[in-house]
Amino acid sequence: MRRMSLAGQRRLFGFGLLGIAGFTIYWYLFSTGIPVIWGPSASASEMAAGRELFEHEWTANDPLAHGDGLGPVFNAKSCVACHFQGGVGGGGEVGHNATHFEVLPQPGRNEYITGVLHDFSVNSSEHESMATLKARYPVVKFPPPPPPPPGHCGYIAPPKPDIDPIRTLSVQTNAMFGIGWIDRISTRAILHNYRSRALSANISEMKMNFDTIPAGRVSLLADGRVGRFGWKANFATLEEFVAAACANELGLGTPTCAQADPLTQTSKHDVPPDLNRKQFASLVAFCDTLPRPVEIIPTTSAGEQLAKHGKTLFASTGCATCHVPDIGGVKGVYSDFLLYTLEDPQPNGGAYGPEPPIENARPSWVPRPDEWRTPPLWGVADSAPYLHDGSAPNLQQAILRHRHDGKAAGDRFAKMPATEQAALLAFLGTLKAPADAIPAAQSVNRKKRLAKNG
């Protein structure tokens, strides 16, 4: 066998390096990542242990907890009290909405704070309300400008307006079915979809096509990771969301996240995590393996035709541009996990209040108050009411509320003949919660909360 010359070997090595570099660049720019092939799985015993924690009605100093149990502040006594529509792990009603707040940086306090305003507390002295929040982060007032010297006739600086650093948002409980699949979608798939969308939106704008649906925005977290969970896509992994839900909704500390402190800060709660590593892992495994929603084809042939027609309209109307049916190998999820604004700008910020002056603005990694993640539409037939705050009672209202970034699609829907609207709605009606979800038998809990809210 002839041996390769030194120059030949060098050349081969060079080509090899070039090949690797080329592949790396290709992978970085164009790859959609590794598609999800294997779905979530866990042992039966782990799922059962997790289910017990998800359904358990927690009490203060609960024997199941290693810390102080429920509280000191909380929104409900169990996960299932809010997540029950269509079965254990589903969405909830507006009565279970959580109030999130943010405190914007102010002169003298260069800190951005977010939190949850809790409905309940174990000790009445630690009860939270809008008044407690306002007392802790009061309106910043500026002294009036000094009076102009006598005879002054030039520019007089107007008094500085007061700054209310607090903004609140009400968000409703989202359904968690199939969430383990979403956790496994590669970040590359989300980024790749975003890049190709951005490119085609740019080309379309250059062609002066004003019907273009903009590409939205990737939710980049403070540490540079891509967010995908929650109405604001502000969590990157299911595990982190579950830890935050334990801390904020039930007041349960976990190995990775301390329980929420009461706003009143009247006493110190220095306790070990309520859930130990094993308990936390089984709770995550239970959420991770919740069955995924299903597309139920109507049994009559007329019903089937209508839903099929609706699915075609869903694509041709532009719905599928944001509610991407398949992404990263997960079929039928109907989301791109990007942030959009569906409301037209309103004078003085509308429901969200005026935007803060630039020097007090929120950090760049925090979505604006009017930015929301495209919600996955799988299971949507079983998760009324709709939109982040549950303000749309039915699917039709939710679609008609697509303005601004969603205007092109919303307008097309509004102008459709009634038969086509009915077809599109019939298609959405096929996107059901999984039939094998565990039935939620916690009506007692639910009635208690509804009594409190009504």
Range 395-414, binding ligand HEC (CB under 6 A): 395, 398-399, 402, 405-406, 409, 413
**Region from 60-68, 81-89, 101-109, 324-332 binding ligand HEC, contact rule CB under 6 A:** 81-89
Q: Is 282 left (phi over 0), alpha (psi -120 to 50) or beta?
A: alpha
Q: Which of 81, 133, 330, 433 binds ligand HEC (CB under 6 A)?
A: 81
319 binds ligand HEC (CB under 6 A): yes
**Region from 102-110, 153-161, 263-271, 372-380 binding ligand HEC, contact rule CB under 6 A:** 372-380
Q: Which of 133, 246, 306, 426 binds ligand HEC (CB under 6 A)?
A: 246
Q: Which residues contact 11 (CB under 8 A, 6 or more apart)?
A: none
Structure token digits, residue 294: 């299903």
**Region from 36-44, 224-232, 257-265, 297-305 binding ligand HEC, contact rule CB under 6 A:** 224-232
Q: Cα–Cα distance between 227 and 188 in angstroms, integer?
A: 12
Range 327-346, binding ligand HEC (CB under 6 A): 340, 342
Q: How far is the CB of 319 from ligand HEC (least distance, A)?
A: 3
117 binds ligand HEC (CB under 6 A): no
Q: How far is the CB of 11 from ligand HEC (least distance, A)?
A: 51
Q: How far is the CB of 154 from ligand HEC (least distance, A)?
A: 48
Q: Cα–Cα distance between 255 and 278 in angstroms, integer?
A: 10
171 binds ligand HEC (CB under 6 A): yes
**Region from 19-27, 167-175, 198-206, 349-357 binding ligand HEC, contact rule CB under 6 A:** 167-175
Structure token digits, residue 278: 């094993």
Q: Cα 155 to chain center, whole Å?
A: 47
Radius of gyration (C-alpha) of the chain in whole angstroms: 26
Amino acid letter, 88: V
Q: Cα–Cα distance between 57 and 54 in angstroms, integer?
A: 9
Q: Cα 207 to chain center, whole Å?
A: 34
Is the CB of 106 or the CB of 337 nearer to ligand HEC? 337
245 binds ligand HEC (CB under 6 A): yes
191 by Cβ neighbours in 10 Å (0-12 / 13-18 / 19+) ranks as middle
Q: Which of 291, 230, 281 lies closest to 256, judged by CA?
A: 281
421 binds ligand HEC (CB under 6 A): no
Is the CB of 263 or the CB of 395 nearer to ligand HEC? 395
Is the CB of 106 or the CB of 230 nearer to ligand HEC? 230
257 binds ligand HEC (CB under 6 A): no
Does residue 327 contact residue 336 with C-beta atoms inside 8 Å?
A: yes
Structure token digits, residue 428: 């959405």
End-to-end CA distance of the chain: 89
Does residue 346 contact residue 356 with C-beta atoms inside 8 Å?
A: no
Q: How far is the CB of 102 from ligand HEC (least distance, A)?
A: 12
169 binds ligand HEC (CB under 6 A): no
Q: Cα–Cα distance between 105 and 418 in angstroms, integer?
A: 49
Does residue 371 contact residue 339 with C-beta atoms inside 8 Å?
A: yes
Q: How far is the CB of 131 from ligand HEC (least distance, A)?
A: 21
386 binds ligand HEC (CB under 6 A): yes
Q: Which of 51, 118, 292, 323 binds ligand HEC (CB under 6 A)?
A: 323
Q: Which of 372, 381, 433, 437 binds ligand HEC (CB under 6 A)?
A: 372
Is the CB of 360 or the CB of 397 nearer to ligand HEC? 397
Is the CB of 190 or the CB of 387 nearer to ligand HEC? 387
Q: Say how many C-beta atoms besides its own lie within 10 A of residue 23's C-beta.
A: 11
Q: Say how many C-beta atoms besides its own lie within 10 A of residue 408's C-beta.
A: 18
Q: Which residues contact 384 (CB under 8 A, 6 or more apart)?
A: 393, 394, 395
254 binds ligand HEC (CB under 6 A): no
Structure token digits, residue 233: 């896509």
219 binds ligand HEC (CB under 6 A): no
Structure token digits, residue 388: 């982040």
Q: Which of 213, 263, 285, 440 binds ligand HEC (CB under 6 A)?
A: 213
Cα dihedral value 73, 78, 82, 88, nearest 10: 160
442 binds ligand HEC (CB under 6 A): no
Structure token digits, residue 15: 């080509």
Structure token digits, residue 280: 């936390």
440 binds ligand HEC (CB under 6 A): no
Q: Which of 105, 165, 230, 262 binds ligand HEC (CB under 6 A)?
A: 230
Site for ligand HEC, rule CB under 6 A:
75-76, 79, 81-83, 96, 98, 171-174, 176, 179, 213, 229-231, 238, 241-242, 245-246, 249-250, 287, 317-319, 321-323, 340, 342, 372, 374-375, 380, 383, 386-388, 395, 398-399, 402, 405-406, 409, 413, 424
